[in-house]
Amino acid sequence: MADFRASLADTAPDAALSPPLAALWWAKKGDWDQAHRIVQDEGDANSAWVHAHLHRVEGDLGNAGYWYRQAGQPVAKDTLEAEWERIVATLLA
């Protein structure tokens, strides 16, 4: 798999990225609609976790809580930056 952080300089995400990582890639590029579209219909916990994070960043805490519960994750209490790093580290592990 391509290095996720290095791929942020590209104009499109690497096709090998999983849906959660692709969604985070689009979010970092500022295309929140595309990021949401990628994970909203995925049924796995990692996609739900990323979807929760996207809502949290946008300040939509009600939807964020819903998606955290779908992911089986505790509602994030760390900073957005720390949660971002935790998500990326988990997905790349």
Enumerate helices (H) and strands (E) in the chain, giving the number of each. Answer: 6, 0
* Local structure of residue 30 (DSSP, 8 states): T
The structural domains of the chain, with segments of one domain joined by +, span: 1-6+18-92
Contact 43, 70 (CB under 8 A): no
Rounded to two decimals, the pTM is 0.82
From first to last of its 93 residues, what are the pLDDT tens digits of the chain? 456 565 666 666 677 788 998 998 889 888 899 999 999 989 899 999 999 999 999 999 999 999 999 999 888 888 999 998 889 888 888
The count of other CB atoms within 10 Å of the CB of residue 69 is 13
